[in-house]
Amino acid sequence: EKSWILMATARSPTNIAVIKYWGKRDEELILPVNDSISVTLDPDHLSATTTVAVSPSFEQDRMWLNGKEISLSGGRYQNCLREIRKRARDVEDEKKGIRIQKDDWNNLHVHIASYNNFPTAAGLASSAAGFACLVFALAKLMNVKEEYGELSSIARQGSGSACRSIYGGFVKWAMGNNPDGSDSIAIQLAEETHWNDLFIVIAVVSSKQKETSSTSGMRESVQTSALLKYRAETVVPSRVLKIEEAIRDHDFASFARITCADSNQFHAICLDTTPPIFYMNDTSHRIISLVERWNQSEGTLQVAYTFDAGPNAVMIAPNRQAAALLLQRLLFYFPPPQDTDLTSYILGDKSILQ
Ligand code: PMV
């Protein structure tokens, strides 16, 4: 039989949560204890690009991440592969003379190559972009026709936060009620263009890998933090409503206030966990102080900050001017080494330097 190869490529950006997901009620299906809300970044900066290929000559499923082979034996990859294969359809490529029938997908193996367009060493979350992209690329290859909501629930089974990267713009991951997870899906709150002025600045404080993975951190918090229960039941539901309103109305002050408060509460839960988890370091704390002082001195909120399971600061400015001022201040308080070429020091949109 003539051998052949068929490929598909997808690209997905990472997302930054402004209402954090922290804690699972079901670890197997990855079902959260609260809703979360995020903003998906622009794909030109922090994104994953994944190509998947299928060929009868492939003997097993394999994957390469940034050119290095990684194991696919983990449950998360297997969940995504299984769920997409279940929904695979017939594929025909007349030019190449290829016909794959629905059931053939169970006997065909895939090779997956994924790249991040940002330095992996920067310690920036990449699993959100990675799993969303894997699901998109596999769905494209296998002619899966499911709606984005359903694709998000498959990406969720790779990495919880990945379900939010299925959409651009502002996205809510609704925790859902069903025990099978079928309603724990991402919903787009606003399109990419809705709040175009917002500008995101990420300060890479440390490129070290985090010491406590989000999976074990969440597990420990769910088991030991009383604050987590209070947050999930009492705080998040009203915050979600308020920040949805702020996003709808472009109300930056309200958006920023809730974003900072939610990041701080997430890290408070980490401290409330036994043994305590420290994701932020001294530099992170200094950045918070800097932004808080600036916000107070101006009377209106200039910048929001938020930190995930690591020390790197993600700051959101209402417009380019505020972002440029923020950068000026950051460079003043955290001066780069002498003779540093600032254009190479800054990831992403360099127009901010002008
Ligand atoms: O999807 P995970 O397991 O990488 O968890 C991500 C958790 C946070 O980044 C800390 C918060 C969030 O909502 O993204």
Residues 222, 175 share a domain = no
Residues 203, 182 share a domain = no
What pLDDT score does 149 carry? 96
Among 190, 215, 245, the domain boundary falls at 190
CB-CB contact of 114 with 47 (8 Å):
no
What are 269's two structure tokens? 């839960």
Atom from ligand 1 closest to the CA of residue 173: 13
Residues 264, 233 share a domain = yes
Cβ neighbours for 332, distance < 8 A, ≥ 6 positions apart: none
Give the residue whose CA is nearest to atom 10 of ligand 1.
Answer: 308
Atom from ligand 1 closest to the CA of residue 214: 3
Atom from ligand 1 closest to the CA of residue 309: 10
Q: Which of 198, 196, 139 minimizes the C-alpha distance to 166?
A: 139
Angle of helix 282-298 relative to helix 252-271, nearest 10 degrees, comes to 150
What pLDDT band is residue 342 in, cutting at 50, 70 and 90? Answer: confident
Residues 245, 302 share a domain = yes
Residues 239, 96 share a domain = no
What pLDDT score does 1 carry? 60
User: Mean pLDDT over all residues of the chain?
Assistant: 93
Cis omega before residue 275 (within 30°)? yes
Angle of helix 148-156 relative to helix 75-86, nearest 10 degrees, comes to 150
Amino acid at 45: H
Query: So what's the ipTM on this one?
Result: 0.98
Place of tokens 């109305």: 249
SS3 content of the chain, % helix, strand, coil (to 5): 40, 20, 40
Q: Which of 256, 259, 307, 252 minimizes the C-alpha distance to 284?
A: 307
CA of 96 to the centre of ligand 1 (A): 42
pLDDT tens column, 122-137? 557 678 999 999 999 9
Residues 257, 174 share a domain = no
CA of 160 to the centre of ligand 1 (A): 7
Can you tell me the mean pLDDT for 252-270? 98
CATH number, residue 138: 3.30.230.10
Does pLDDT of 324 surpass 60? yes
CB-CB contact of 242 with 187 (8 Å):
no
Q: Which of 288, 340, 262, 346 minimizes the C-alpha distance to 16?
A: 262
Cβ atoms within 10 Å, residue 91: 18
CB-CB contact of 35 with 174 (8 Å):
yes
Q: Candidates 12, 16, 20: which one to mutate for ligand 1, based on the most atoms within 8 Å of Cβ?
A: 20
CA of 97 to the centre of ligand 1 (A): 43
Can you tell me the mean pLDDT for 161-188? 97
Residues 206, 148 share a domain = no
In a domain, 87, yes or no: yes
Atom from ligand 1 closest to the CA of residue 127: 4
What pLDDT score does 211 carry? 76
Residues 136, 217 share a domain = no
Residues 181, 221 share a domain = no
In a domain, 33, yes or no: yes
Instruction: Give the total residue count for the chain.
Output: 354
Distance CA 31, CA 26 (A): 5
Pocket of ligand 1 (CB under 6 A): 17, 20-22, 36, 125, 127, 159-161, 214-215, 308-309
What pLDDT band is residue 189 in, cutting at 50, 70 and 90? Answer: very high
Residues 263, 186 share a domain = no
Please tell me what DSSP assigns to residue 232. I
CA of 256 to the centre of ligand 1 (A): 19
Percent of the chain clearing pLDDT 70 (strictly above) = 97
CA of 7 to the centre of ligand 1 (A): 30
Concatenate the DSSP letters of all residues of 287-342 into one string.
HHHHHHHHHHHHSS---EEE--SSS-EEEEESSHHHHHHHHHHHHHHSPPPTT--H
What pLDDT band is residue 340 in, cutting at 50, 70 and 90? Answer: confident
pLDDT tens column, 45-73? 889 999 999 999 999 999 999 999 999 99
Does pLDDT of 164 surpass 70? yes
Give the residue whose CA is nearest to atom 9 of ligand 1.
Answer: 308
Can you tell me the mean pLDDT for 103-123? 86
CA of 214 to the centre of ligand 1 (A): 7
What are 311's two structure tokens? 């020390």
Amino acid at 24: K
What's the domain count of the chain? 2
At residue 239, the 3 state secondary structure works out as: helix
Among 156, 171, 190, the domain boundary falls at 190
Distance CA 21, CA 62 (A): 30
What are 58's two structure tokens? 């492939």
What are 88's two structure tokens? 């695979």
Among 166, 190, 214, the domain boundary falls at 190
What pLDDT score does 119 carry? 67
Look up the domain containing 121 and give its range: 6-190
The alpha-carbon radius of gyration of the chain (Å, integer) is 21
In a domain, 1, yes or no: no
What pLDDT band is residue 341 in, cutting at 50, 70 and 90? Answer: confident
Residues 282, 177 share a domain = no
Residues 60, 138 share a domain = yes
Does pLDDT of 152 surpass 60? yes
